[in-house]
Structure 1
């Protein structure tokens, strides 16, 4: 469940034939792609051109918990929000629902990279301001 005090982003995804595996369920690799896709889309929305030219993120770890399957023509809501961010790392959460049913829960650890040096860099206030909700 998205915490009330978070900056979140959601969109709708309709399951099509290309998403399915041999069991006619959404393939695990597709779920992982959706986790990556929404993370990148949310960053694009939050960060302006200047921040995106200075920094980029690389994933260090994905944890996915599958609860139910999705099938052809299901309408899914994919949602994300940022959890703890400190040092060079930030944890991003993703949930995928079909109506009120939770299908997947993911937590991904991302590392902030300085675009100029190509090295990890500490998450500073310019980034924290856009990741954390206004108080």
Structure 2
């Protein structure tokens, strides 16, 4: 299986900064959630999104470098692996000017039924927009 990455770009604005004048750590978490949501809504049909959703189980974030006002960042996300009802999504945030990694994030998600709020089986049809399955 080969993940199909999804990207967005953003420019650091003043409201992203903390008292140290670099991007606030909470902004990175928000960006991880935002690109995850954008990937889901862009690649998944509306009828599927009406029936299912994702709940965060945990975040693991490695802050590697600081980002500052005006810097352009590239957010890249992909599905690293999955099981019956869980998925591990990765997000890398890199600086556009030099390609250096600013943040590496790993989030574990649980796929749920919107009505029952219980875990739901992740089918191949659900994964098709996100993963190329190797034909053997």
Alignment-derived partner of residue 36 in structure 1: 33
- Give the TM-score normalised by structure 2: 0.92
Give the superposition deviation at 1:47.
0.5
Q: CA deviation at 1:50?
A: 1.3
Aligned partner of residue 104 in structure 1, secondary structure: strand
Q: Name stretches of at least 5 consecutive residues in structure 2 with no aligned partner.
A: none
- Superposed displacement of residue 134, structure 1: 5.0
Count of residue correspondences: 132
Separation in 2, partners of 1:71, 1:43: 28
> 2:128 and 2:39 mapped to 1: Cα distance?
14
**Tell me, which stretches of 5 or more residues in structure 1 are unaligned?**
none
Task: Please tell me the root mean square deviation across aligned C-alpha atoms, in Å.
Answer: 1.4
Deviations 1:50-100 (A, max 9, x none): 110110001000000011000000000011001111111000000000031
Corresponding position of 2:20: 23
Runs (4+) of structure 1 exceeding 6 A deviation are none
